[in-house]
Amino acid sequence: MRLGWLKNLYVQVLAAVVFGAVLGHLWPQAGESLKPLGDGFIKLIKMMVGPVVFTTVVTGIAKMGDLKRVGRVGLKAFLYFEVVTTGALVLGLVVGNLFQPGVGLDVDVSRLDAKAIESYTSAGKSMSTVDFLFNIIPSSLVDPFVKGDILQVLLISLLTAIALAKMGKAGESILHGVDAVGHLLFGMVGLIMRVAPLGAMGAIAFTVGKYGVGTLVGLGRLMGAFYVTAFLFVVLVLGPILRWTGVGLLPFLRYLRDELLLVLGTSSSESALPQLMVKLEALGCPKSVVGFVVPMGYSFNLDGTSIYLTLASLFVAQATGTHLSLGQELALLAVLLLTSKGAATVTGGGFITLAATLSATGTIPVAGMVLLLGVDRFMSEARALTNLVGNAVATLVVSKWEGSLDTERAREVLAAPSVAVEPSSAS
């Protein structure tokens, strides 16, 4: 029984991440060969995200019954997202100007191989506000679940929930069926999570094996500035916001340690989405709020990505000797307020969004993004971690704002984070 702690997912993922990093460093080729483990695990989780979001949103909102409250929750969540992500963008801009991580590199843009980033720039060229909004409407009811598009799934879920709520008693049997399917899906997620250590080990071994820790030295100032900024954002911005809900930051992070380590290993906040929803509901957040705010936040509340976008933009400008006036920096910020929304949550999404932003502004050479290729993978971990914490905090804030956060339950759960808890029955 003394080794019972080895059964803890937190311990298993931590050991896997350390082992994968060492393996990738000592035997790079072997580390690269483990990439399918990480990719396979993320595919398994992505397979579950759409159905899990659908059943959670439908049961939570349909049971709530009050459609006015649904609109109120959505409006409050969107307002919170806008304020906090704008703050994250501004913080990245301020830190970029203070630390100036790209100054002194004096890179000649004409000598950069722009072909290395063609796949990212081509993916970002078609991005516009109209395209993004229009893309929320799926081509069919099945297509979003096949593609794993969270916003499209959320739209279908909302329409289904509203229709069920209006059906009254006639829709109760359907609602019970959806609820039962939801329990089945979370059972499947539990089975998939058993192989999470393998997925984390494969992903981190590939990253270290392919790019090597040596790449961090050359761009150390950028890496340091980004990680410090992300840390300060969590502590100085999200911390006080979380304290307003009656929850302390350290106990909250300890409660989410399994999910945080999983994200650290896979570099994708999406890999922890199903488990995050379970944890937040168990913490005392209403199912209706969790099911609505978390999926919505995964597209509109990417705090870590927002910090990265402004900081990386300034880095490229400074490294290539591109002078930006105050007006140009404000214009960059204005464009980022749009392009940062809907940035993909999978690895590389922030890089694609950055390409779209630089292309849209036209003041910073897009070819300069080549400088980021070596360390982008390492920075994606901090982006994903900050995004996860930001969305978890947002859910508590909206729950508190609605007067439906069970603070007593939250304190009891956080006081004993190792104890398995069942989700709250609140809807």
Give pLDDT, residue 346: 45
- The mean pLDDT values, 10 residues at a time, for the chain of 427 residues are 57 80 85 84 80 81 71 86 91 89 72 57 53 75 79 83 81 84 84 82 80 64 88 94 92 90 78 86 88 82 87 86 84 77 54 72 76 73 89 94 89 72 47
387 class by beta-carbon count within 10 Å (0-12 exposed, 13-18 middle, 19+ buried): buried
Q: What is the 3-state secondary structure (H, E, C) of the chain?
A: CCCHHHHCHHHHHHHHHHHHHHHHHHCHHHHHHCHHHHHHHHHHHHHHHHHHHHHHHHHHHHHHCCHHHHHHHHHHHHHHHHHHHHHHHHHHHHHHHHHCCCCCCCCCHHHCCHHHHHHHHHHHHCCCHHHHHHCCCCCCCCHHHHHCCHHHHHHHHHHHHHHHHHHHHHHHHHHHHHHHHHHHHHHHHHHHHHHHHHHHHHHHHHHHHHHCCCHHHHCHHHHHHHHHHHHHHHHHHHHHHHHHCCCCHHHHHHHCHHHHHHHHHHCCHHHHHHHHHHHHHHCCCCHHHHHHHHHHHHHHCCHHHHHHHHHHHHHHHHHCCCCCCHHHHHHHHHHHHHHCCCCCCCCCHHHHHHHHHHHHHCCCCHHHHHHHHHHHHHHHHHHHHHHHHHHHHHHHHHHHHCCCCCHHHHHHHHHCCCCCCCCCCCC
Structure token digits, residue 310:
């402004």
Give pLDDT, residue 1: 42
Structure token digits, residue 42:
């993320």
Give pLDDT, residue 130: 66
Report CA 316 to chain centroid distance, whole Å: 24
* Inter-residue contact 88 to 301 (CB < 8 Å): no
Q: Could you tell me the pTM of the whole model?
A: 0.77
Cα-based torsion angle of the residue sequence 251, 295, 244, 410 in order, rounded to the nearest 10 degrees: -50
Domains of the chain: 4-415 (1.10.3860.10)
Give pLDDT, residue 204: 79
**Residue 106 falls in which region: left (phi positive, over 0), alpha (psi -120 to 50) or beta:** left
pLDDT digits 0-9 by tens, 31-59: 888 888 888 887 887 788 788 878 877 88
Give pLDDT, residue 8: 67
Average pLDDT score, the chain: 79
